[in-house]
Structure formats: C-alpha cells, structure tokens
C-alpha cells in the first residue's frame, strides 16, 4: 500500500484493523501480520497499533485471559497447549504463562477426566491397551501433562469397568 498517499494508507490500515477487531479480539502481533500481508508500511503499522493500544482496543493480556478460558472450556486444552497457542499468536511468554496459570490443577484434571469419559463412550469394542494408547495420545495432543494423563486414564478405565490397566505398573516421567 506504499503507492497510496500517507493519509489514505493510514485510513485503509485503520479500516483493516477495525474489520478484524469487529470479528473477534486480536493480539497486536495478529494485527501487525495482517497489515504486513496487505502491504502496509511498517511505520504506518506501528503508529496505528500504538494508537489502538493507547485507546484500549488491543490488550494482549486481556486477550490471553479470554482465549485461555474459552479454549480450555470449549476445546479442552491443557495449560501447555494454551501457552503454545498464545505464543503463536504473538503473546509474550510471561503474559501467556500468567493467563494459563489461571487454570488451577484441579480444573485441569477435571477437564481431562471429562474428555476421557467422553472419548470412552465412543470406544466400545476396543481392547484396553489400545484404548489406553488412544486416550493418552488425545490428552497429550491437548497439552495435558504426562503424569496427570496417566493417572486420569488409569482411574477412568477402572471406573468404566476395566479390571486392570497396563498403566498400573507404569510410572510417569
């Protein structure tokens, strides 16, 4: 957009940002990337993003808190996966870790149990070893710690009627 007069470029960049923010909250880095993809000059981007930040229209910390609550509740993601997602969206590591830290260990364990129970309902006729592998894999992909995953899967398989699990003798790292 460098061929546009400076005022026109600023107006168009502002329009792009407002359109994106109207759809959902965005991080500063998401907006910067979108503007760069559209060819806006770095100086125009920096100035506009500073103004949006000053006006309170972009707030990476607030975005991170909302993102963590939503993705943990609706997608069942664990803290590790949430921090990784926020980092990919350009949120500072400390801000991402602080936001993910709002999910306490008990809430994370309970969400893992819900995911395992839900998955178990669809696993009729699957032998115990295969079910264990699948459940552990699912929890790992969703960012749950290995030790928590082993404990939850072992207990939920027992509760579902499994007589013994191959994890009884396993010790998590």
| Whole-number percent of the chain with pLDDT over 90 | 81
Q: What kind and span of H or E run contains 110?
A: helix 105-121
Q: What CA–CA distance (Å, rounded) separates 91 from 7?
A: 29
Whether 121 and 115 have beta carbons less than 8 Å apart is answered as no
List the one residue out of 169, 141, 138 whose CA is nearest residue 130: 138
**Sign of dihedral through CA atoms 148, 149, 150, 155?**
positive
Instruction: Compute the average pLDDT of residues 1-21.
Output: 88
pLDDT of residue 4: 79
């Amino acid at each position: 957009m460098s061929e546009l007069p400076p005022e026109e470029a600023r107006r168009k960049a502002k329009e792009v940002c407002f359109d994106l923010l109207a759809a959902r909250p965005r991080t500063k880095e998401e907006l910067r990337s979108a503007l760069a993809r559209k060819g806006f000059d770095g100086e125009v981007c920096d100035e506009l993003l500073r103004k949006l930040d000053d006006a309170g229209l972009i707030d990476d910390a607030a975005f991170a808190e909302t993102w963590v609550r939503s993705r943990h509740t609706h997608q069942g993601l664990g803290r590790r996966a949430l921090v990784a997602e926020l980092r990919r969206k350009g949120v500072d590591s400390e801000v991402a870790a602080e936001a993910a830290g709002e999910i306490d260990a008990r809430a994370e364990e309970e969400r893992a149990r819900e995911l395992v129970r839900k998955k178990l309902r669809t696993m009729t006729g699957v032998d115990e070893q295969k079910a264990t592998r699948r459940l552990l894999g699912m929890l790992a992909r969703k960012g749950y710690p290995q030790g928590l995953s082993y404990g939850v899967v072992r207990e939920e398989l027992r509760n579902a009627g499994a007589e013994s699990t191959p994890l009884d003798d396993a010790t998590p790292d």
